[in-house]
Chains A and B, each alone.
Chain A
Amino acid sequence: MVPETYYTMLSAILFSIGVVGVLVRRNPLVIFMSIELMLNAANLALVAFGARFGAADAQVLVFFVMTVAAAEVAVGLAIIVAIFRLRRRLSVDDLSLMRW
């Protein structure tokens, strides 16, 4: 049996990779994937903690997070497509019409 700390450590590492991904990547799609990684790291942590307490409410929360993430994908991809239609290019460096 794998100890619970392994799962929580893995989730912390995944979360950090997600945060770094958001900060260093320039393509909105990749940034968005990194955000999904952060959410799923949280899901992993929730499941691991749920196993520790032997309670189902963490698993329930995971389902909520997954559903919300799906809704977020729908809205996010629509916004990204809208930008792409107007610009024909996809980089967050181009989002510079408004500054300071």
Chain B
Amino acid sequence: MDAALLPLAPLVVVAGTTVVLILLDLLPPRTSKVHLGVVALVGIVATLVSALFLWGRAGRAFSGVVVLDNFALFFDVVICYAVALVLLLSLDYLRRNGMERGEYYILVLFATLGMLLMAHAADLIVIFLALELMSLSLYVLAGFFQARLTAAESAMKYFLLGAFATGFFVYGIALIYGAAGTTALDRVGAALGSATRDPLLLIGLGLLLVGFGFKISSVPFHMWAPDVYEGAPTSVAALIATGSKAAGFAGLLRVLLSTFRGAQPDWTALLWVLAVLTMTVGNVVAIAQSNLKRMLAYSSIAHVGYMLVGVVAGGPLGAGGVLFYLLVYSFATAGAFGVILLLERGRQEAVNQDDYGGLAARHPVLALTLALFLLSLIGMPPTAGFAGKFYLFGAAVRSGYIWLAVIAVLNSAVAAYYYLRVIVYMYMRDQEGVPTEPAPSFAGRLALGIALWGVFQLGLMPAPVLDLAQAAVAPLLR
């Protein structure tokens, strides 16, 4: 490979795989598209390997607008794991729903390219392009089951609100350009250092935060999330909940910690409030949900709140904690969505709590798997959720945000209620009528196995990965 393209290796691999997929889609067989999914999976694994291989290297490409550093590489790994799990889960899921089309895998890889580009972006223009590449692909994917009214509705809501947020984002870029005279992140940072609180720059940052807040679904920009998760195909919901959220945090962390470090007191005060609102609203509303996909949507909102606690705490501990938590959260959330996706009740997807009654008696392994993912989301030791929360809240306490940590811990206790309720249904209730049965999908079980491995690997031995996460944020904090 050309030396100038080396920093882009993960992006090049994904883009190349996407082009291959587009060509393959035109060739026979026309009825089965599983081979496209397998090729996509191979591409994602190759991307993962290239990211691991590049670890520790630094570089820039395209006149410095795309950057390679450990921060970007860590996010590459998180996103690739999430996308690989989603692809494994999709292989059989699409066929069962009669929507086996090549576009699905192509769009998933385009969205992945956007996510990776976001992690590698060193210029506001590139962040904008990455955001849009990811979002436009996900709008289409959300409405992929086009004959269903709920799918069309979720795509429409996602699209209108997403485009609205894009408007704010672009205007924010325009104002920042007006104040700093450049869109390169490091030079904006330098301009901020010399300017004495330029209001234009701060308003611009505020508008950027609206755009990012939408992507990571933090309160008050979270209203789309439950509807989109419920209406979209479950595999796509898992992708939105893990990959696109990780990409949003990649952009947010790079802009806040590196570029706008000079304005830290300003945005810390704002994010403190957003963090408290996000976790409280997410957890309280999740209690009222009986649909599991909606419950996981509100739970994902609450988890964004926990991660914002880490952003507020800042420093290698706080920011590193956020990166670690993203990995932990992605494994558990993709796994939980994966179990829902495998279960069917009378040709319908099992999304209601009642569908889970007595599951442990009939399918003990699957019930135990879902229970472990939910326990990880609660934060029970020895699962990864405990380690993740421990480091995040610990960072908040060390940075002096005692109250924030207290509120976060109280929120985790509230969250236990609605996660445990599902476990109670599985282990202590009986089911009437048509029983819930899992689909016989080897790829799906493999995905659950990988996610489960992640939950325990990170839970029992968190230190090595946490060290990597802290090394990853070091280039931003320098």
Contact = CB atoms under 8 A, between A and B. Distances in A.
A and B assemble together: yes
Interface of A: 8, 11, 15, 18-19, 22, 28, 31-32, 35, 38-39, 41-43, 45-46, 48-50, 52-53, 55, 57-58, 60-61, 64-65, 68, 71-72, 75-76, 78-80, 82-83, 86-87, 92, 95, 97-100
A64 B147 CA distance: 33
A79 to B, nearest CB: 5
Given A50-B177, A61-B128, 18 more contacts: A18-B167, A35-B166, A38-B168, A42-B167, A42-B170, A45-B171, A45-B178, A46-B173, A46-B174, A48-B178, A61-B173, A68-B166, A79-B156, A80-B156, A86-B147, A98-B150, A98-B294, A100-B285
A85 to B, nearest CB: 8
A54 to B, nearest CB: 10
Given A35-B164, A82-B143, A98-B231, A45 B174 contact: yes
B226 interface: yes
A39 to B, nearest CB: 6
16 contacts: A28-B156, A35-B160, A35-B167, A39-B166, A42-B167, A45-B171, A46-B174, A50-B177, A57-B125, A65-B128, A68-B132, A80-B156, A82-B155, A86-B149, A92-B160, A98-B227
B152 A79 contact: yes
Nearest to B136: A75
A13 to B, nearest CB: 12
A32 B167 CA distance: 11
A58 B143 CA distance: 34
B430 to A, nearest CB: 28
Interface in B282-299: 285, 288, 294
Contacts of B155: 79, 82
Contacts of A72: 132, 136, 163, 166
Interface of B: 125, 128-129, 132, 136, 139-140, 143, 146-147, 149-150, 152-157, 159-160, 163-164, 166-168, 170-171, 173-175, 177-178, 181-183, 226-227, 230-231, 285, 288, 294
B11 to A, nearest CB: 17
Contact of B146 (A57, A71, A82, A98): A82
